[in-house]
Structure 1
């Protein structure tokens, strides 16, 4: 609490400093669509009369962008937004100290004289409070999945289990249209691998989100914003893509919209049908306490599978009046994964000579069904005041089916077999309301949210005894979990002279009850917990002049364990490797701070520091007597992360632009397992993207990323990895269609390789997936111009991120 009060005092001190000595020259641009609908996230570029750039801003939720501390001069405001025509407004600040302009954007594809006006967005936009990836601007995103786009986005890394890190920090939360996905690890990886990048308009990377967002995500939030069709009548976009790696991939999507009168009906559907592979090599070395080698276990493993993902979103918006909009949306997801694997476990003595082998075959089937309904409403009291409300009801039905058979090379050995059925049912209810009001140069926002989750997880395992299947009660489990989270927040955003101050405070209260039903072997048990906390955020920006802006950001965040990670059931990976939940898993809390500098829209540099208590880490438990390894997760201590970042946007010529970023992290992870650990590492990520625009609708791209040796978990270090991608595109059908040919991971270098340290055991591993893929895609856009209604993304944000058990 003392830290919160100290932070608020500092904010008040900066507020006092921010009062201008005299009237500052300022420009306020209000952007709207048809029927005066406020447009958030429109790009407003302030130019001098010689077309040199002064500054670029995005409009807020009320469609307003404000420029302060400007010298007396004449300016041009250039306003653009995807699927809208570019508009320009002349502004004279020589004879006026403050000017407000209202700019109404018209839908794209209209003609101004004999010139067709279209807006072209850069691939990456570095903003003071976030980084925006314009997905369609990247040619190599054609035919890609959302996960493949994220893997090569600046500052993002993905580990072998699908966990995503942002600027070297693990614990990032993923939102889709403002709604947290509610899945984690391999489940989230499956979902993002099944979604087509052609459905996505932008990806927002937020290191330190404001108070209106859930406090979940120690590294921040990734918000994936899907496309919205803005055309009148029956219209949409069709994308077809075929990819060929070692195995074929097919990724298609359809966006439809029909608008008539005050009604707007929409439908988005995507189908991902792909074959996939994974080749894993693992070598465990077992040691005595004195460090001498006692034996080795070599485990090459290969799996091949087929996956299908059907993703549907449909609904309607109704304009009750010019100020009130009602919405109803339905979401559906059906995901299947079927794979077969083979492995050979070779036991070797200290000299590396083979003693015995065990051959294992396995089959795994995963099914995930998700259905949801969202009710939303938005009322605009005036151009400066609005209220939104959402209600979400969501249900997940998840099923896993496993089969393993082991055959030893020892003469006379009989095959051993086991199987498991792991169904899960997750029900979610969530409701929220958000209010915003602008007072002159101050924006006030406040809101409330409540959510509830009920989960029912059953794990039934069997072993084969001759020709009969017997219950394996030592592994079987029935886990019930109920959780409620209540939150309120308030924030202000004030501009005064050269200063822009945002401050917010969010309060969250959490309670949960869990019960593990017993059987003849396992006793019945239960546990519950209540906790609450305050989560302050601060954003202080200072414009030194029209070219340079300094920003300080700080905030406190929380990561709650995923629902399934609290479940103490056992998940079989192979004969010598198991995964287990942890009912004693506690939340982790993080303070994030960053000081950054931005020069125009060209160069951005930052210095960041974060400290996490009760740090989440994978924990690897070794049983040297049986040679088995158990993977679990828990709280191991604390993690400190000092980071430096540099981002650049360069227009090298009229046809060549470059976007690049480098992030350097110095990490210290401390914790206690069977011994005191202190892991220290310096790691870096680099990404670069070259965009080439030629005549007659031709374009090309050359991009790549590289990650040095890195570490997120206390016991595991990853080796360097990266990839290079290239692509070309051509506008066809009078610019209504686009053909793209893309090659990703050209040199097949995106492998995951590392070393894990256990008690008296070390394991080297290397994992290779089908990442070198050539893709041919075709996109066709059709329809007439229309306005876009602001569509709600719902209230079930944090909850969707923490559910799931599809592996």
Structure 2
């Protein structure tokens, strides 16, 4: 009998205790809120003197009898504030915002489930930085009817992390071993940065996010079923990564630096500068990172006689990849008011990422009896360079107080270069050396433009419409060479040149109407896609050319019903599209190691998904959602082998995927100093179709995020968070459960202008990725361990000075603060 591992018992016991604690807390808060009655909901809207919506204004609810502050909240992007579950009584509101005069409202009485407070207007007024007092701290997670917001800086354990790691611990999000991001069990999430597409394939997005420091990010906006103004791409929804921006007037800045130590060091630095005065705003941000990392791979592959389970050979591979990622990101731009109702903005950005890695691996071939047949040592050297330049020009004009028009033009240029060197040394039975090298350059040019119209018809109705067009041009080379007697001979079996051209045109209309307790939203988006691609031939392969054109309608509907001040119900439905990444259409061959290749698929087709969701929100504490989706032409990894025993990783379409699940999000203040947020997601995924062989698989899966935030006296704070994922499955691959626990502590210093933070990620070193892969006549077990246990110390400091405006503040000044600069 095998001995029980004490570490396994400790981890299992720790997980069960955390789960029990979460259930107890959720039960306590649920019983507590159910016991309350005679409560109502207060709705109001915050705007400027020029009728512009004001986001992130601070509102305080005061009891009329003694002026005690009972509730504090912050307005959303549309200036709206909803205070739920307020006991009946007499109150007044106080609203404040940086560079605006505080508004002390009139007394009113709440005596019904709904109270619509008159719109509150704030007069602009510049104030000194020393006069500003922060009256409310953002929660780590904010629940809204149609999206979830994660305030990245509010999470202490995000200190020193990269953006991919932040996503991994965010509600409902998982990241697999290849960096693919899933939302509630579904892959193909549309990733936006400041509302703009990157147009990169998933692998390149993962590399970019891995090199991007969390210190650059303000919020994550997670939308399961986004409205029609967003691109139809992303069957699982949209994640919008909003970078930090300074909104105070005058010259202000923020400086941060962190050092982390795992197996290798991690260093992240950032600087943000902003000058805002009258009708001009200028900004500049710079960040850098230098992070060491490793991947420890253990893979055991078994080959069978065709059509049987009789073992004919085994391949055992052990590899150690030590690497380094260096990132430099620069963004700069300006917003200018051109008059009373018009503003213009422009921005430029640049990203430079260098990745290098050295891999040492040993491959042992055994025969059916287990005797070693051959032993091969592989030494691999990888060098990758990623460069991106982005330019943005935007324009916004307020036609009237209720109508506005905006225009955006973007240009993106990517220059990606990869170089690989392989030395395969066969030690037994006869020693010989095979040397291979590869140059893998690619360029991507993207131009996009869009125009959007918005009209506020009345206080309860709005209308939106818009048009977008984009063009992608990419060129990819893969040049492989074999060393032959001191000469480099071209390996034509792997060498290729691939050119791709794509154009997308889209139109949309949408509207919103509020009818008493109902809010109705609907939209329709039309998209047309056309592309052509060409692979240049060589002496062993002919030229190949293929093209395709397709279009579709993508409706989106939602109905929200406020039954009372405690309960809100919502139904949403939408159709979405995922296009094959253009680089995956290239029938290339990329060498991973001597016995594992990756290849493209020119027959890759788009997939279409129908999403349905029913949601119930109880006060501000618990949100429950039931999700159902069906995807046709489902994207999936496909694995096959050739007659030499080489395994190929590719991607293609299966027949169908059905996903049904339930998610529960709960957040509560256990005490004045302890808050808890939890997300539990249970779903069943069924996949059926043909890859290498017909198949069908079904698995019920579960993932959970748990966060505890603690606020103590004298500027001290702490956090304990974690996530857990059960087995996950695709048609040919299944991965084992994984997760991690993180802890952090922070202290405000230098008169609250600075902060010190200390965090430890993956305390128990449990975030290994392991699983099984089935091939047609083979089976593989794999395990990947990475540098995930990291101790980090970080310091940040904000500085600057605000001053009074020297000129008259126009209506366009408010527009200028809201214009999207692309920075």
Q: 1:753 aligns with which of 762, 766, 770?
A: 770
2:234 is matched with which residue: 217, 229, 238? 217
Measure, in 1, the Cα distance between the counterparts of 2:466 and 2:598. Answer: 39
> In the superposition, relative to structure 1, how do residues 95 and 243 fare at CA in structure 2: closer, same or farther (>3 Å)?
closer
Among 718, 736, 757, the alignment partner of 1:740 is 757
Counterpart check, 1:792 vs 2:817:
no
Q: Matched residues in 1 for 2:430 and 2:696: separation?
A: 47
Deviation per CA, 1:189-223, whole angstroms, max 9, x where unpaired?
A: 22111111112111011000000000100000100
**8 Å CA contact 1:242, 1:249 repeated in 2:** yes
1:601-616 matched pairs, under 5 angstroms: 601-616=620-635
Map 1:430-449 to 2 at 5 A.
430-440=448-458, 441-449=460-468
Q: How does 1:636-647 map to 2 (within 5 A)?
A: 636-647=654-665
The CA deviation string for residues 310-337 of structure 1, in whole angstroms up to 9 with x for no partner, is 1111011101124211101001011110
Indicate if the aligned counterparts of 2:295 and 2:321 stay in contact, CA closer than 8 A.
yes
Match of residue 452, structure 1, among 446, 455, 471: 471
1-side partners of 2:434 and 2:99: how far apart? 60
Q: Tell me if 1:774 matches 2:802.
A: no
Task: Measure how far apart 1:661 and its partner are.
Answer: 0.6
Would the aligned equivalents of 1:43 and 1:59 in 2 still touch at CA under 8 Å?
A: no
- TM-score of the pair, normalised by structure 1: 0.90
Give deviations 1:694-749, integer Å, cap 9, x for gaps.
000000000100001112x3211110000000010000000000000000001111
Q: Is the 8 A contact 1:69 1:498 kept in 2?
A: no
Cα distance in 2 for partners of 1:56, 1:111 equals: 22
Q: Which residue of 2 aligns with 1:478?
A: 497
Secondary structure of residue in 1 paired with 2:399: strand
Q: How does 1:310-709 map to 2 (within 5 A)?
A: 310-440=328-458, 441-623=460-642, 625-709=643-727
- Partners of 2:370 and 2:125 in 1: CA distance: 70
TM-score by length of 2: 0.88
Deviation for aligned residue 1:383: 3.9
1:31 to 2:46 alignment: yes
Q: CA RMSD in A?
A: 2.8
SS of residue paired to 1:537: strand
Partner of 1:181: 198
Q: In the aligned structure 1, how far is the partner of 2:59 from the partner of 2:658?
A: 38
1:92 to 100, 105, 108: 108
Which of 262, 265, 271 is the aligned partner of 1:245? 262
What SS does the aligned partner of 2:620 have? coil
Indicate the residue corresponding to 1:20 in structure 2: none
Counterpart Cα distance in 2 of 1:231 and 1:56? 20
Say if 1:767 and 1:107 are closer, same or farther in 2 by CA, change over 3 A: farther
Counterparts in 2 of 1:527 and 1:696: CA distance versus 1, 3 Å: same
Deviations 1:554-597 (A, max 9, x none): 11101111111111111110000000111111110001111010
Whether the aligned pair in 2 keeps the contact of 1:386 and 1:437 (CA below 8 Å) is: yes
Structure-to-structure mapping, 1:47-196, within 5 angstroms: 59-61=76-78, 63-64=79-80, 74-76=90-92, 89-90=105-106, 92=108, 99-104=117-122, 116-196=133-213
Counterpart Cα distance in 2 of 1:134 and 1:84: 24
The answer to whether the 8 A contact 2:85-2:566 is kept is no
Structure 2 contact 41–565 (Cα < 8 Å) conserved = no
2:24 alignment partner in structure 1: none
Measured in 1, the distance between the counterparts of 2:707 and 2:788 equals: 19
CA distance change for structure 1 residues 639 and 90 in 2, over 3 Å: closer, same or farther?
farther
CA displacement at 1:264 relative to structure 2: 1.2
Instruction: Tell me if 1:287 matches 2:304.
Output: yes
Counterpart-to-counterpart distance in 2, 1:418 and 1:406: 8
1:126-185 residue CA offsets vs partner (Å, 9 max, x unmatched) = 111011001111111112111111110011000011000001111111111001222233
Instruction: Answer whether contact 1:86 1:117 (CA < 8 A) is retained.
Output: no
**Cα distance, 1:33 vs structure 2:** 5.8
Compared CA separation, residues 473 and 242, structure 1 to 2 (3 A): same
Distance 1:249 1:510, change over 3 A: same
Distance 1:68 1:317, change over 3 A: same
Residues 667 and 337 from structure 1, CA distance in 2 versus in 1: closer, same or farther, beyond 3 angstroms? same
Query: Could you list the per-position Cα deviations for residues 595-634 of structure 1 after superposition, in whole angstroms to 9, with x for gaps in the alignment?
Result: 01001110111111000000000000123x3221000000
**C-alpha spacing 1:91/1:436, structure 2 compared with 1 (3 Å):** farther
* Cα distance, 1:100 vs structure 2: 2.2
**Contact preservation (8 Å) 2:450, 2:468:** yes
Shift in Å, 1:530:
0.6
Partner of 1:305: 323
Deviations 1:283-331 (A, max 9, x none): 1011122212222100011111111111111011101124211101001
Instruction: Confirm or deny: 8 A CA contact 1:109 1:116 kept in the other structure.
Output: no
> In the comparison of the two structures, how many residue pairs are matched?
767
- Structure 1 residue 32, shift from structure 2 partner: 3.7
Q: For residues 657 and 81 of structure 1, do their structure 2 counterparts lie closer, same or farther at Cα, with a shift above 3 Å needed?
A: farther
Partner of 2:747: 730
Q: Distance in 1 between matches of 2:60 and 2:733?
A: 46
Alignment-derived partner of residue 22 in structure 1: none
The equivalent of 1:17 in structure 2 is none
Q: Rate the CA distance shift 1:358–1:49 in 2: closer, same or farther, 3 A.
A: farther
Q: Partners of 1:704 and 1:66 in 2: how far apart?
A: 30
CA distance in structure 2 between the aligned counterparts of 1:125 and 1:614, rounded to whole angstroms: 35
For 1:357 and 1:472, locate their aligned partners in 2 and report how far apart those are by CA, in whole Å.
24
Compute the displacement of 1:73 (Å).
Answer: 6.3
Structure 1: runs of 5 or more not aligned: 1-24, 796-807
Please tell me whether the aligned partners of residues 64 and 107 of structure 2 are also in contact (alpha carbons under 8 angstroms).
Answer: no
Contiguous gaps of at least 5 residues in structure 2: 1-39, 804-813
| SS in structure 2 of the partner of residue 415 of structure 1 | strand
Q: Tell me what 2:253 maps to.
A: 236
- Work out the CA distance in 2 between the residues paired with 1:560 and 1:270: 32
Give me the whole-angstrom Cα distance separating, in 2, the residues matched to 1:592 and 1:76. Answer: 42
Provide Cα deviations, 1:487-513, integer angstroms capped at 9, x if missing partner: 010111111111011100000011111
> Which moves more between the two structures, 313-322 or 28-37?
28-37
8 Å contact from structure 1 (residues 571, 579) kept in 2: yes
